[in-house]
Structure 1
Amino acid sequence: MTADSPDQPAPHALLRPQIALPFLIVALIWGSTWFVILGQNQGAPASWSVTWRFVLATPAMFAVALVMRRPLRIGPAGQRLAFFVGLTQFCGNYNFVYRAEEHLTSGIVAVMIGLLLVPNAILARVLLKQPITRRFAVGSTIAIAGIGLLLVHEAREAPLSGHVVLGVVLALAAMLCASVSNVMQANETGRALPMVSLLSWAMLYGMICNAVLGWITAGPPVIPSSGAYWAGTAYLAIMGSVVTFPLYYNLIRQLGAGRAAYNGVAVIVIAMLISTVLEGYRWSPLAIAGALLATAGLVIALRARKPVT
């Protein structure tokens, strides 16, 4: 984590309607997408479901870039970065997430992905020379302990099939793919590009990679006929990808990356509540303790601003 710049707004800035409203919208949408993914897994193989999501999202994101009058010519270096982001974020990350939700509840997967802060910080330290604060390290340790309790609870509740372990491995792989993508976007090439332009090309490359992976792993395209499936796909594509990314990056511009990342904690809370109501997630004392530890640890980590001297 890096220190906030001196011109960052006061903490109460988050309460201003022009900031609080998009903050809430992003948290509600991203918190709900974890559950919607379950329906996609039941309608088609994971890779084809991810492909259809970006078949819808990609042209919409290009349209956003055109409406915002952002240049779509990003140069060879930009195209290489876009391909890398598409491969890791919009192909690898999403494929692993969809498959993880075949073995774990959506709330648990959301909590695990919430630990993205940890590999992000480590990779940023190694690749971008960004410092890690003591508070961030303490918070991350607490959050990991909480995740451990949640996973112990999940293993106790799940059938004796070993699928919980597979789900954990898939979720960790998803987290690492997203982390590598997030850090690489912050390199010199990424900082010089309009975000919506980079995202448009990255989604296009991700869509192509997903289609290739789908054909290799599941055969020719599987096109579901269910209206509910396509409604869920449209929600994930338009609301979960196209609407939220511009809102979230605008929050980053107004609040700074540190404070904007508080959104991740809200997303986890919403995802766990939805999992409780719609998936019948059962809260034991162990799970409650784990959720409280994970949330507390994330809040502590996200509040870290001053680098270690």
Structure 2
Amino acid sequence: MVGMTLVGSSVTVSRTLVDAPLFTTQAVRYTAATAILLVMARLAGARLLRPRGREWLWLAGIAVSGLVLFNVAVVRGVAHAEPAVIAVAVACVPLVLGVLGPVLERRGPSRQVLLAAPVVMAGAVLVEGTGRTDAVGVAWAALALGCEAAFTLLAVPVLRRHSPWGVSVHAMWLAAVLLAVLGAVSEGPSAVGELSGVQWAAVGYLALMVTAVAFVLWYSTVRAVGSGRAGLLTGIAPLAAAAVGTVSGGGTPSASVWLGIVVLILGLVGGIRPRRVPAGERHPHRTEYPVPPRRPDAKV
């Protein structure tokens, strides 16, 4: 929940980077986040392992889809669609994770999660609103949805061996390298000098709180409760964005936003609360036998 709150709060901060060179700025962000996370991992005593075999493919997939392509899809998408369209597409993540996540985890989907996911999605749509788009905008929105889901799904096979610390570190430095190459080719090596002081501060906040801290919190949650239930928590991001927008002078939320907040909270509570298991289902392979009463003169 804390991680998704940080992600939602980044919407206001990210607006200061609209005019900044995209690839170069993101390369600086992920490079700084990698350095920060290495220090944090050392202080926490976390052991970082070198990837091997197919693990490189999973980690590279996270970097390419969840970190590089997602940013490209959002930036290119808003040129053909209003930002709300991209946000609505990303709001479908809980349902995607609820269906595909358990498959990668080799278990059946949770009925509780599948029932709560559409409620969370509906609440997010009410909070974010809708907007105009064209066919190209729809395609970019669909790509953003796929990349956002891949950020979690591709981590499932490597979380057990590498831990949230390892997955975060490897995904970050791989993305930093890719973005640095893209930035050098398309924006030039001197693009980093175009960043203003305010933009450097924004990059620092994104690197520390929204990347280094939020990544570890998110992957820790995925490993602890599963990708399906964790996916429901993405609904917290629109709530945080709406709250930060109100505090920062965005005005009082409309009635539809308040309704969306209520729907979101109901969906989160319904999907995350522990399911009560009847006593007879807790130990299906154990038969309960009545214990005969003990005689008063029996030795203990």
TM-score strictly above 0.5: yes
Name the counterpart of 2:40.
Answer: 64
Structure 1 distance, partners of 2:207, 2:198, is 14
Task: Within 5 Å, give how 1:9-28 maps onto structure 2.
Answer: 24=2, 26-28=3-5
Partner of 2:25: 49
When residues 150 and 264 of structure 1 are mapped into structure 2, their CA distance, relative to the original with a 3 A threshold, is closer
- 1:81 maps to 2:49: no
Identity %: 23
> 2:26, 2:179 within 8 Å by CA — same for their partners in 1?
yes
Q: Check 1:297–1:101 CA distance in 2 against 1; reply closer, same or farther (3 A cut).
A: farther
The one-letter code matched in structure 2 to 1:123 is: L
Q: Rate the CA distance shift 1:286–1:243 in 2: closer, same or farther, 3 A.
A: closer
Shift of 1:119: 1.0
Residue deviations 1:226-275 (CA, integer Å, cap 9, x gap): 1000000011001211133334555667x745776675444332211112
Partner of 1:183 in structure 2?
A: 153
Distance 1:236 1:79 in 2: 25
Instruction: Classify 1:291/1:110 alpha carbon distance in 2 versus 1 (closer, same or farther; 3 Å).
Output: farther
Residues 135 and 73 (structure 1), Cα distance of their counterparts in 2 relative to 1, 3 Å cut = closer
State yes or no: 1:145 paired with 2:122. yes
SS of match in other structure, 1:70: coil
- Deviation at 1:101? 6.5
Distance 1:246 1:149, change over 3 A: closer
Contact 1:111 1:147 in 2 (8 A): yes
Map 1:94-113 to 2 at 5 A. Answer: 94-98=71-75, 104=82, 113=90
1:78/1:190 contact within 8 Å kept? no
Greater CA drift, 123-132 or 33-42: 123-132
Aligned to 2:169: 200
**Residue of structure 1 in register with 2:286 after alignment:** none
- The reply on whether 1:36 has 2:35 as its aligned counterpart is no
- Residue aligned with 1:65, SS: helix
Which of 275, 278, 293 is 2:245 aligned to? Answer: 275
- Specify the alignment match of 2:187 in structure 1: 219
Deviates most, 258-267 or 51-60: 258-267
- Equivalent residue letter for 1:185: A
Give TM-score scaled by structure 1 length.
Answer: 0.71
- Pick aligned residue for 1:123 from 88, 92, 100: 100
Q: Which amino acid aligns with 2:96?
A: P
Instruction: Using CA pairs under 8 Å that are at least 6 residues apart, name the structure with larger relative contact order, 1 or 2.
Output: 1
Q: Distance in 1 between matches of 2:6 and 2:99?
A: 28
5+ residue gaps, structure 2, are: 282-300
Counterpart CA distance in 1 for 2:97 and 2:266 is 19
Distance change in 2, residues 1:195/1:251 (3 Å): closer
Cα deviation digits, residues 136-185 of structure 1 (max 9, x gap): 2222223333444456x443xxxxxx458866654543332131231221
Cα distance change, pair 136–164 in 1 and its aligned pair in 2 (3 A): farther
The residue type paired with residue 196 of structure 1 is W
Shift of residue 55 of structure 1? 2.1
Aligned residues between the structures: 273
Q: Who is 2:259 aligned against?
A: 289
What is the alpha-carbon root mean square deviation over aligned residues?
A: 3.7
Question: Conserved in 1, the CA contact under 8 Å of 2:12 and 2:245?
Answer: yes
Superimposed CA distance per residue, residues 198-236 of structure 1 (whole angstroms, 9 cap, x where no aligned partner): 3212111111222344456x4324222310000000110
